[in-house]
Structure 1
């Protein structure tokens, strides 16, 4: 019975914890202001990108910067992070 409960608990935690792997760069509502289209395929110009960045809440900016500075997390968002770094926003 204890092993069954432990396995069930571990499974439940892994299912619930899977949501935690999605980061700020994976959240469409965070990323949409930086794109010109609803499919988020075309980045805004540098000037419009910077305006969108300044309008982003500081906590979201910090989370995005943390992910852009992490090679594994930023891999699917190379274009966004490159644009952010071009504005001088990197550590």
Structure 2
């Protein structure tokens, strides 16, 4: 009976771990969400940032949770580097203010 429970526990752990590694967490950040990020750019390709005033207005229009998630993602060395212009502007605003 103990062997059966141990085996079932190991299988449950393997399935849980496998689902996380296989796509339970897609690895995308809040900075990769066009619906949230589009208002910070002047073009559909999200290459040209809006002016500082327009950026601040778009930043303040976000929910507190979205600003927190974006600030956290900017703090990640890999994610932040791929969104360096955006993250630099959020740092100019002091993060969430």
**Structure 2 unaligned residues grouped into runs of 5+:** 1-6
User: What is the correspondence of 1:11-90 to structure 2 with a 5 Å cutoff?
Assistant: 11-19=18-26, 21-89=27-95
Q: How many residues align?
A: 86
RMSD: 2.2
Alignment partner of 2:43: what SS?
coil
| 2: CA distance, partners of 1:84 / 1:12 | 34
Higher Rg = 2
Compare 9-18 and 43-52 and name the one that shifted more: 9-18
- The alignment's TM-score, normalised by the length of structure 1, stands at 0.79
**Structure 1 unaligned residues grouped into runs of 5+:** none
Alignment partner of 1:62: what SS?
helix
Q: CA deviation at 1:18?
A: 4.1
- The alignment's TM-score, normalised by the length of structure 2, stands at 0.74
Change (3 A) 1:51 1:16: same
